[in-house]
Structure 1
Amino acid sequence: MLIVFSGLPGTGKTTIARDLATRLTAVYLRIDAIEQAIRNSEALARGVGRSGYMVANELALSNLRIGNTVIVDCVNPVIESRKAWSEIARRADAPLVNVQVICSDKHEHQRRVETREIDIPGLTPPTWQSVLGHEYAVWDEAPFTVDTALMSPAAAVALITERFLSNE
């Protein structure tokens, strides 16, 4: 199974995705970590975002093919990246679960962005202005959505587990 967490920075994706990956002993792919490793290598002057997603796509595919559950933590802001995850699931003959994480409380979302502790060395944290201006396309088909203004990360993990993994 491929579970892709999508949403703007500061919504709570990483906390929920990491907690679910721990609970399932799943492969956890964090786009921020992959992109920062590419930046640190100084291999690319630009295009890090696309490259990070391409690396993650291939890592997900290889892990799905050997039967691992894969959890991806990413903004996933454009239709192209969403289609790529769908194609990876299709190629691996694995179910795809898209989970969009939002924070409907704008003040809480801003507080999270502005007080966020960065756990990836060298990663520049987003500003509230950059989050507000971040590209994030409307989904063709509405994904399962978790609102972290209305529930705790533990409740979100429990809800996702019950909804998509109860037969696992």
Structure 2
Amino acid sequence: MRRPGLILLGGLPGTGKSTVAVPVARELGAAYLRIDRIEQALADSRELPEKPRASGYLVGYALARDQLDLGVTVVAECVNPLKITRDAWRQVGDRHGRWTPEVELVCSRPEEHRSRVENRTVDIAGLRLPTWQQVADREYQPWDRDHLVIDTAVTSVANSVELVLQHANAAERLTPS
């Protein structure tokens, strides 16, 4: 039986995070946490004075902790743009010695990335997708530790999913029981 772990998929909007995360979660029978969905649910509540920023991530961390405590692997998908958010996810996974592979999706072809951002459809009711300019201007700090980088401009969805699964299996094997 597989030990529970926390797979983190990050990257700018339009790099294919949801496209890769969903089949990874299905393959593993894992819980799937998407910060966009959490943030939209918080916004829909109309209890917050402005669009959620940190609160979506904080809810995500709490939900991930609960799932890991229940013995359920989690696939968390979010932009994860800052060192502080990456460190917080890592702390969630490390809390009980869980394996926590980190994956960053990138799109190395700016014209393709722009096309994806400008032509994608909304799959969460009420969610306002960012414009290309907002994506280009977004604060996104470089990663400061080893992680798997997948360039979705040159790697198919199927191959990306397989790479994530291989990375997760390696992380699980390397983490002491």
Tell whether the structures are fold-level matches, with TM greater than 0.5: yes
Matched to 1:105, the amino acid is R
> Across the two proteins, how many residue pairs are aligned to each other?
168
The DSSP-based 3-state class of the residue aligned with 1:139 is: coil
In the alignment, what sits opposite 1:161?
A: 165
In the alignment, what sits opposite 1:121?
A: 125
Name the CA distance, whole Å, in 1 between partners of 2:124 and 2:138: 20
| Aligned residue runs from structure 1 range 16-165, under 5 A | 16-46=20-50, 48-165=52-169
Q: CA deviation at 1:12?
A: 0.3
Q: CA deviation at 1:142?
A: 3.8
Runs ≥4 residues deviating over 4 A = none
Q: CA deviation at 1:92?
A: 3.1
Contact 1:61–1:92 (8 Å) recurs in 2: no
In the alignment, what sits opposite 2:6?
A: 2
Contact 1:12–1:148 (8 Å) recurs in 2: yes
With the length of structure 1 as denominator, give the TM-score of the two structures: 0.95
With the length of structure 2 as denominator, give the TM-score of the two structures: 0.91
C-alpha RMSD of matched pairs (Å): 1.4
Any gaps of 5 or more consecutive residues in structure 2? none
Identity over aligned residues, as a percent?
43
Any gaps of 5 or more consecutive residues in structure 1? none
Matched to 2:152, the amino acid is T
